[in-house]
Amino acid sequence: MATWLDNTEPGLAPDPQQTDRLLVSGDWTFRKAGRLLELIAGADKDIQTVDARAVTRLDASGSKLLLSMMARLGLPATALAAKPEHATLIDAVRNAGAPLPDAPPAGTPLYRILESIGRWVANAYWNILVFLDFLGRTLLSLMESLFNPRHWRVTSIVFHMQAVGLNAVPLVMLLSFMVGAVVAFLGATVLSEFGAQLWVVELVGVAFFREFGVLLTAILLAGRTASAFTAQIGSMKSGEELDAIRTMGLDPIELLVLPRLKALLLTLPLLTFLATMAGLLGGMAVCVWHLDISPEMFIGRLQNELSPRHFWVGMSKAPIFAMVIGLIGCLEGFKVKNNAQSVGEHTTSSVVQSISLVILLDALAAMFFMELDL
């Protein structure tokens, strides 16, 4: 035990060759604090520099007392000479004891608005990077699983297809039917002023083939499915189940993300087709009951006046929307912290992000197909 005891008595003595310099020696540690206080109290105030290179041992308490002596003598930090290893500790103790900087001024309202915008942009940029990283890892795991049938997890895929697709059919078809009726009513109201009520058929057909069929389905699944994915994975993370999965040597992306993503990729196009048919039925119902257009005439005009490209334009967007909804829902679940409040916050965030991104991508796709004259 004697190897770590402080055996060298601390000392303070003026330099014989330079009387305005104080020589510091010995052990300056917590165990010598009583003796050090006595030495500091008797230090000569005419001292201009302090040489502590003869100090053998130094700890945080000794550094604090050494700085207190410098302050008592009214000397700046540059007047202290110490060993390099001791100087690092002295600087750390000096910085630790420094007062906290004053809070910056609140600034003008314009300054606060710009600051908020800057924070939002930085946060959006970071979220984009995280999303792209998650997308890359998911696609890599998806490519690996395609060539390894043992990792397809068919049971999990079928289960999520039922939860995502089959259970959502009534809601999707009902809302699409009602929206189709509303579009037909609005079209009839506007076109009746020009005596072109018959064109309501083309209006409903183009609207649901190209936009409303896939967009309504994606928005409904963004609110219904993305939130469910986030809540499920977030609850597993808060319960430390994800850590258990990694401990067993399993990949959470392969186990939790890919089955949900594959289920969405398979079911969203089917739901889009059903939503399109339901919307057309809603429009046809209004045409039959309000505009005296028979079902045969309605179907005949759809076949004669509309090209199949409108249908395929809408269906081509379904896999993209499925990827977006599945990735955001699962990613927000992985971001959840270990508390219930975080689960609710990220569930809300997944719904908002999914719906916003679906609408943004739909607008970009509309401009893209318009430029291609499709």
User: Do 227 and 354 fall into the same domain?
Assistant: yes
Closest alpha carbon to 6 in 55, 70, 68: 55
Side-chain-side CA neighbours of 362 within 13 Å: the count stands at: 22
- Whether residues 73 and 215 fall in one domain: no
Q: Do 138 and 255 belong to one domain?
A: yes
229 and 359 housed in the same domain: yes
Three-state DSSP at 156 gives helix
* 102 belongs to a structural domain: no
pLDDT tens per residue, the chain (374 residues)?
Answer: 333 445 677 877 787 777 778 888 888 888 877 778 877 877 777 778 888 888 888 888 888 888 888 888 888 878 888 888 888 888 888 887 655 455 556 567 887 888 889 888 988 888 889 889 989 999 988 888 888 877 788 888 899 899 888 898 999 999 999 999 999 988 888 887 777 778 888 888 889 998 899 999 999 999 888 989 998 898 888 878 888 888 888 888 888 889 999 999 999 999 999 999 999 999 999 888 888 788 888 888 888 878 888 889 989 999 999 999 999 999 988 888 877 788 888 889 899 999 999 999 999 998 998 888 77
If you search the block for the tokens 């045969």, which residue do you land on?
Answer: 296
**CATH code of the domain in which 21 resides:** 3.30.750.24
Q: Are residues 142 and 229 in the same domain?
A: yes
Residues 90 and 136 in one domain: no
Domain match, 197 and 266 both: yes
Q: Between the CA of residue 169 and those of 176, 216, 236, 272, what are the distances in Å?
A: 11, 12, 28, 10
**Domain limit, last residue, from 54, 70, 96:** 96
Question: Does any domain span residue 104?
Answer: no
Same domain flag for 283 and 166? yes
Tally of domains in the chain: 2
| Residue 118 within any structural domain of the chain | no
Q: Are residues 89 and 136 in the same domain?
A: no
Residue 55 maps to a domain: yes
> CA-to-CA distance for 174 and 177, rounded, in angstroms?
5
Residue 227 in any domain: the answer is yes
d(CA 213, CA 175): 10
- One DSSP character per residue, 62-75 reads HHHHHHHHHHHHT-
In angstroms, the CA 213 to CA 204 distance is: 11
Query: Residue 190, class by beta-carbon neighbours within 10 Å (0-12 exposed, 13-18 middle, 19+ buried)?
Result: middle
Give φ, ψ of 306 to 5 degrees: -110, 135
Residues 201, 285 share a domain: yes
**Segments forming the whole domain that contains residue 174:** 130-371
Let me know how long the chain is: 374
> Where a domain ends, among 75, 96, 117?
96
Structural domain includes residue 363: yes
**Residue 84 maps to a domain:** yes
Q: Which of 31, 25, 33 is nearest to 65 (CA)?
A: 33
**pTM listed for this prediction:** 0.66
Residue 31 counted as domain residue:
yes
Q: Same structural domain for residues 215 and 292?
A: yes
What is the CA angle 11-14-18, rounded to 5? 145
For residue 182, which phi and psi values (nearest 5 degrees)? -65, -45
Domain boundary among 96, 113, 139: 96
User: How many angstroms separate the most distant Cα atoms in the chain?
Assistant: 118
Please indicate, yes or no, whether residues 66 and 143 belong to a single structural domain of this protein: no
